[in-house]
Amino acid sequence: MSSSKLEKLLEILQKMESAVLAYSGGVDSTLLLKAMQLSGIKSLAVTGVSETMPEQDFIASKKMAEKTGIEQKIIRTDELRIKNFMNNPLDRCFFCKNELFGKIKKIAEKGGYGFVLDGSNFDDMDDWRPGRKAALKHGVKSPLVEAGLNKKEIRNISKKLKLPAWDKPSSPCLASRFPYGEQITGKALKQVAEAEKFLKSVGFAEFRVRHHGDVARIELKENDFKKLLSSRVRKVVTEKLKSLGYKFISLDLEGFRSGRMNEGLKKASRRTRRA
């Protein structure tokens, strides 16, 4: 099934002839980048960099673009100048993606590229994704969705193609660490970025540091609880996060769940689509 869907993806791309990819360095957009190389179409990868992008994702995107030989253009996006983004409403992602896709669309038009692409996959169609509205507004295509590829299939194909990102944990933008309604600032984003960078250096692979004012709520896989709660690790993590400005450090006993801040919104989104 995955092989036939890869063939379908390549056919979709070949019909486009030329395209610019909004490239984040994640598993989805990395497979799409590789597929663009395999399809032989005129390609450009554009990566938007701002305070909301984890540093390791930017580094990974550069390495992969170099590996495929596809030109990568780095642009600066200015989400923190957008009031509706900073206020962190339920449709925050729309304003972020609107900023990104608007700039990429201009690059595509200037360079004579026929399409702008993103790495949305079939599973994303059943999630709370206000950013999809921005994609539709700017005419962005989602070839992975068109090919019917879900996350599991994307990982399987990526593994077969020996892509370094095949088993990379999901890494959404740092703004997703804030509860809706809590203002997003450059200072707070830096706190979260530094906290997560430190947890990674300690040896944790899949986690989030949720920002609640002066409280850092750590979400970990349950099998990592014991490691964090060991006296040595607990001490160094507490000291580091407090040095970043947090007054209280907590462990979420329900464990890590990607998209935690969207819980409750997904059901509402599905009801809205059915209405």
CATH tag, 2-160: 3.40.50.620
What is the pTM assigned to this prediction? 0.87
Q: What integer pLDDT is reported at residue 129 of this predicted model?
A: 78
Which element (helix H / strand E) includes 225? helix 225-229
Rounded alpha-carbon distances, angstroms, from residue 190 to 187, 238, 250: 5, 17, 19
C-alpha 39/C-alpha 37 separation (Å) is 5
For residue 124, what pLDDT is reported?
81
What is the SS3 string spanning 87-105? CCCCCHHHHHHHHHHHHHH
Contact of 47 with 72, CB cutoff 8 Å: yes
Distance, in Å, from the CA atom of 91 to the CA atom of 129, rounded to the nearest integer, reads: 8
Q: Quickly tell me which residue has 């992008």 as its tokens.
A: 53
Instruction: Give the tens place of pLDDT for each residue, 141-189.
Output: 999 999 999 999 999 999 999 998 888 888 889 999 999 999 999 999 9
Report which DSSP code applies to 141: B
Pairwise pLDDT comparison (129 vs 245), residue with the higher score? 245
Cα–Cα distances in angstroms (integers) from residue 154 to residues 41, 237, 256, in the given order: 20, 34, 22
Helices vs strands, H then E, count in the chain: 12, 7
Mean pLDDT calculated for residue range 20-26: 95
Task: Return the higher-pLDDT residue of 237 and 165.
Answer: 237
Query: In the sheet where 248-251 sits, what is the strand order?
Result: 207-212, 215-220, 248-251
CATH topology agreement for domains 2-160 and 174-261: no
pLDDT at 115 over 70: yes
Structural domain spans, the chain: 2-160, 174-261
List of residues 6+ apart from 29 with CB closer than 8 A: 21, 22, 23, 118, 119
Q: Which of 139, 97, 132, 99 is nearest to 116 (CA)?
A: 139
Answer whether 20's CB lies under 8 Å from 116's CB: yes
Q: How confident is the model at residue 131 (pLDDT cuts 50, 70, 90)?
A: confident
C-alpha triplet 77, 83, 85: angle, nearest 5°: 60
What confidence score (pLDDT) does residue 30 get?
94
Mean pLDDT of 206-230: 97
**How far apart are alpha carbons 84 and 93 in whole angstroms?**
10
The residue ranking higher by pLDDT, 188 or 275, is 188
For residue 14, pLDDT over 70 is answered with: yes
Q: Please, what CATH class does the domain formed by 174-261 belong to?
A: alpha beta
Strands (DSSP E) contained in 118-266 are 207-212, 215-220, 248-251
Mean pLDDT in residue range 69-81 = 94
Give the relative orientation of helices 2-16 and 27-39 as an angle to the nearest 10 degrees. 60
Distance between CA atoms of residues 120 and 143, nearest Å:
8
Under the banding of pLDDT at 50, 70 and 90, the label for residue 81 is: very high
